[in-house]
Structure 1
Amino acid sequence: MKEKGSTLVPFLADRQRYIILAIGTLCIAAIASNMTVINFTMICMAKPVNSSALTSNVEADNLAYSNKQKSIIMWAAAVGTLAAAWPFHWFYTQFGARSVFFAAGVVSTLSTAVMPLAAEVHFNFLVVARFFQGVSFGADFAAIGLIVVNWASLKQHGLFISLLSSFSQISVMFTMPVAGELCESTWGWQSVYYVHAVLSGVLFTAWLYFYRDNPTKHPQMTEIELEKIHRGKGDVKEHEKAPIAKILTNSVMLAVWLSAFGELMMSQFIVMYGPTFLKEVLGFAVNHTGYFVAVPRALHLAFKIISGVASDRIQFWSEKTKMRIFNTIALMVSGAFFCILGYLPKEQAHLSLVALLVIECSTGFICGGFYKCATLVARQHSHFVLSQIQFIKCLSLFIEPLLVFLICSHNTLEEWRIVFLTHGILLIVGNIIFCYFATDEPADFTRSATGEEMTDVPPERRRLTENEA
């Protein structure tokens, strides 16, 4: 254990947890980016790699996939994630996040790197590579839980959750412009996969080098920072087996998962069908719909980070009150505007844009709501609770397209109104149930590891660092 100031970089003394937070956020976003690449390269894959190929007798294959093939490609990743969610929980319990999440990163890196070759050899090979991308994605949410419980102080759960759960927005903001530029370059669409593979390989190498499952084993850890991380937590056992039956029947966890289901269904709708609704129903031009979806997503990220910091810093409300308020802003407000959205006429399309903007901004507050509740109540078992949110996200990938397919057969505003009302009611009901059960007290199933308070930190050290967390 190092004393304060003994690190090679004085500025980073007592701040190793922020390095872990940054690397963890980027690694989780890297896996999400690798998953997202194909969404932006399908257009490029349907054309010759380089227009200069016309001067040659050799021309790239035209990989234009049918709608059925595109659906298979998307569903292959979802099946991979569903299949891997529970096994990853077991691996995390047995071996910890350092080696298991690194292995997931290797799988994501390799499957992304071989996708250009797989696409050119046979469609089935592309589906297999896509499946393994989904497998690696199954490790993301559990990794968030482990990073939070092992490295975040109780006062910084909001900050850690807001950044770590922003991988979707970060990945889209990076992948979209990079894929666009590389697809139009002389290197072709294949280079998009190679660039992403190289970057994720570098990031996961950094993960393996810096991350430790136990902060006490980090070579740059100081006593002061360790006290900040452990204050109020008690002792956390490494590789502790999760009491799955007790977690699955805990009313608070069920309320968390219901809120997560409503929020993830809403999020998938905006990502998957936002452009379709704006273009086909409201009549916006194609070149405008991309901006009308991308800008709100960027604002969502900003509000998520701001709300995460605010959730940690606000002192005049109890944690329970803050979680209820933040969750209400995220779900009740967005649910109400979803209901309103269904009744706005096409002639007032600009009001529909405002409603979508409010929905995206308000849902940024989720990190201070059910996400924070999950980590505070489940404590050392947060990785299992959050891994089930990953499972729920995969279910939404199947349910959302089915819901739209069954209802919106003619793309009329009346049909979309039913979809909006369904989402709005789900969000509102989920929030009401969450607010009833929400608490910041550790659940009974955590007692074996949280029953003992820290006693090895001198009182004067506690006073010294009380305001530094």
Structure 2
Amino acid sequence: MTAKIDDIGSDSKKSLEKRGSRRFIILLVSFFFLSFIHAGFLSYNCGYVAMSELITSPLYNEETFSVNRSMIPWNADHLSLSDRRFDFTPEEKGWSFAAGFAGAMFGVPILGLMTAKWGMHRMMSGMGAMIAVTCFLLPYLVSISFPLFLFLRFLSGTALAILFAAAGHVVSYWAPLNERGLWIAVLSGHVEFSPFFSMPHAGLVGSEISWPAIYYSHGVIALLVTILWIFVHKDDPRDVKWLKKEELDRVMQGKFELLNAKREKQKPVSFLKLIKTPVVVGIWVACIGYYFGVQFSITFSLLYYSSALHYSPIVCGFVTMIPLLILLFLKLVTGHISDRLTSIREVTRMRIFNSIALIGSAFFFLIASFRQPDGSWMDVAVVVMPVCILGCHSGGYPKCAVIVARKHSAAVFSYMQLFGCGSLVAGAFMVPMLTPSGEHAEWGIVFRAYAVVMLVCNLVFCYTATDKPCEWALEKETTEVEISTSENQTHKV
């Protein structure tokens, strides 16, 4: 007898929940894979200080340096690679950072088509190998050709374009229906976890060994996690032989598109369909608001602490880590809570958590914009809180993307990455323009701008949010399915 999935009794569902936890191996492997691929991309950001620190060069001479440092051949051929330094102009420095984001924006539509053809497992395996290669080549190429180095940065940025799509794919195919919030929180946490590894790692390796070792070590780690991903992760849970039948049933519950015996390839949803869907547009808009807030912590908080609060570099580095740690913790907690508050409608839960994140962040940014620094701990607290509370977003727009897009959630997450990178580029131009001298009054304008963007973005999301799958997400799905759990046995749900 075949029963519809929606007709499974509560007792049966509870019994499924208690059987097996091996799926969390996939969750952890995916988390570390995404984290260290992202860390490979960030390795240049973290290693830039060591490779451009001219006073550590054997050619450094204080008297000559003060007269005309541009005449010193910091990257001379007779120097070993570890002794070479790079005195980039402001324009070169800007291009070296911008090239990575340009690659990310360019890669979204291209990699989306390639993923639809070859599958997420193969694409991410290729991206992991590419990140490892770019890390190995970066020290050599930056020393022989700046254009080649920019092209390398562009390539590494394309890998960044697919990370959110990969996270959405893993959630859609592997997360049980009542664990989606937790899985989204963990996998999206790679954004905060990767700097925790890269920043102290780069500082230690760069000072104790050499600046090229920063990139070589990132390359080795990227290669190792890629190999782990290749052998452990599978796009289809039915291809994993070490899952028990009961746990496989739970993972596959409600995933109609994965249960087709023929495993027909799904055509990717077009961007035109996505842009015509209000809830998807609302998700992208909410993503823009989130990225503006996170960018302050990752990119500009060091400038604020040093220019407006006049903290030392060591204190700045320590304080910058605090909000990212709390944000990651809140992601995990709120993701789990959003799965358990079943007494509240799903769409209401998503609106609540998204509003706590964006409205709460806007509120604290407004406080920071009007408060004058007085040298107390409150100077830090008022700018740490806006970033910390953004961790509550995991129960908001990312979860909405998985629910409404289903098998096409990877596409929604891909364009989410595109719009997120677009907001980073916009912020990169906006903040320097508004803070020419770095005074607190100028930063107050930035904080108020952040607050306005977040409030508008949250309003759009709450208006468009829904917990009903989109029509194009239900195409070719059936309500009666068979789950093949072994070569000789079929389990009907």
TM-score over 0.5 for the pair: yes
Moved more, 190-199 or 439-448: 439-448
Residues 175 and 290 from structure 1, CA distance in 2 versus in 1: closer, same or farther, beyond 3 angstroms?
A: same
The reply on whether 1:147 has 2:170 as its aligned counterpart is yes
TM-score by length of 2: 0.85
Match of 1:233 among 244, 255, 272: 255
Moved more, 281-290 or 44-53: 44-53
Aligned to 1:207: 229
Q: Distance in 2 between matches of 1:102 and 1:392?
A: 24
Aligned to 1:318: 345
Aligned to 1:216: 238
Aligned to 1:6: none
The letter for the 1-side match of 2:23 is R
Aligned to 1:135: 158
Aligned to 2:462: 435
Match of 1:24 among 15, 30, 33: 30
Q: Tell me if the contact between 1:227 and 1:457 (Cα under 8 Å) persists in the aligned partners.
A: no
Match of 2:121 among 98, 118, 135: 98
Deviations 1:269-289 (A, max 9, x none): 221111111221122333211
Moved more, 99-108 or 286-295: 286-295
Deviation, structure 1 residue 67: 2.1
Match of 1:197 among 212, 219, 222: 219
Aligned ranges 1:36-435 → 2 under 5 Å: 36-47=42-53, 60-185=83-208, 187-236=209-258, 239-244=265-270, 245-347=272-374, 350-435=377-462
Q: Distance in 2 between matches of 1:337 and 1:348?
A: 18
Q: Distance in 2 between matches of 1:261 and 1:87?
A: 21
SS of residue matched to 1:73? helix
Q: Distance in 2 between matches of 1:309 and 1:242?
A: 30
Residues 49 and 287 from structure 1, CA distance in 2 versus in 1: closer, same or farther, beyond 3 angstroms?
A: closer
Q: Tell me if the contact between 1:112 and 1:129 (Cα under 8 Å) persists in the aligned partners.
A: no
Deviation, structure 1 residue 327: 0.7
Aligned to 1:34: 40
SS of residue matched to 1:266? helix
SS of residue matched to 2:344? coil
Q: Tell me if the contact between 1:265 and 1:396 (Cα under 8 Å) persists in the aligned partners.
A: yes
Deviation, structure 1 residue 291: 1.4
Q: Tell me if the contact between 1:235 and 1:452 (Cα under 8 Å) persists in the aligned partners.
A: no
Deviations 1:226-256 (A, max 9, x none): 2111223333365412332222211111111
Q: Distance in 2 between matches of 1:87 and 1:16?
A: 34
TM-score by length of 1: 0.89
Q: Distance in 1 between matches of 2:461 and 2:132?
A: 38
Q: Distance in 2 between matches of 1:134 and 1:349?
A: 40
Q: Tell me if the contact between 2:57 and 2:84 (Cα under 8 Å) persists in the aligned partners.
A: no
Q: Tell me if the contact between 1:92 and 1:239 (Cα under 8 Å) persists in the aligned partners.
A: no
Deviations 1:359-406 (A, max 9, x none): 122110111100000101111100000001110122123101211133
The letter for the 1-side match of 2:179 is Q
Q: Tell me if the contact between 2:364 and 2:382 (Cα under 8 Å) persists in the aligned partners.
A: yes
Deviation, structure 1 residue 153: 1.1
Q: Tell me if the contact between 2:269 and 2:411 (Cα under 8 Å) persists in the aligned partners.
A: no
Deviation, structure 1 residue 417: 2.0
Residues 253 and 100 from structure 1, CA distance in 2 versus in 1: closer, same or farther, beyond 3 angstroms?
A: same
Aligned to 2:13: none
Moved more, 44-53 or 434-443: 44-53
Q: Distance in 2 between matches of 1:238 and 1:441?
A: 24
Q: Tell me if the contact between 1:232 and 1:453 (Cα under 8 Å) persists in the aligned partners.
A: no
Figure out how many residues of one structure are paired with residues of the other and give that number. 445
Deviations 1:104-139 (A, max 9, x none): 111111011100111222222221211111111112
Q: Tell me if the contact between 1:78 and 1:394 (Cα under 8 Å) persists in the aligned partners.
A: yes
Q: Distance in 1 between matches of 2:483 and 2:265?
A: 22
Aligned to 1:7: none
Gaps (5+ residues) in structure 2?
1-18, 61-77, 486-492
Q: Tell me if the contact between 2:360 and 2:386 (Cα under 8 Å) persists in the aligned partners.
A: yes
Q: Distance in 2 between matches of 1:114 and 1:439?
A: 46
Q: Distance in 2 between matches of 1:329 and 1:283?
A: 31
Q: Distance in 2 between matches of 1:202 and 1:238?
A: 32
Q: Tell me if the contact between 1:49 and 1:189 (Cα under 8 Å) persists in the aligned partners.
A: no
Q: Tell me if the contact between 1:233 and 1:453 (Cα under 8 Å) persists in the aligned partners.
A: no
Identity of aligned residues (%): 26
SS of residue matched to 1:395? helix
Q: Distance in 2 between matches of 1:448 and 1:223?
A: 28
Deviation, structure 1 residue 168: 1.6
Moved more, 282-291 or 435-444: 282-291
Q: Distance in 2 between matches of 1:70 and 1:153?
A: 45
Deviation, structure 1 residue 314: 2.5
The letter for the 2-side match of 1:346 is P
Q: What is the root-mean-square deviation in Å for CA atoms of aligned residues? A: 2.4
Q: Distance in 2 between matches of 1:399 and 1:355?
A: 24
The letter for the 1-side match of 2:94 is S
Residues 290 and 268 from structure 1, CA distance in 2 versus in 1: closer, same or farther, beyond 3 angstroms?
A: same
SS of residue matched to 2:467? coil
Residues 58 and 416 from structure 1, CA distance in 2 versus in 1: closer, same or farther, beyond 3 angstroms?
A: closer
SS of residue matched to 1:346? coil
Deviation, structure 1 residue 192: 1.1
SS of residue matched to 2:257? coil
Q: Distance in 2 between matches of 1:238 and 1:67?
A: 51
Moved more, 41-50 or 335-344: 41-50
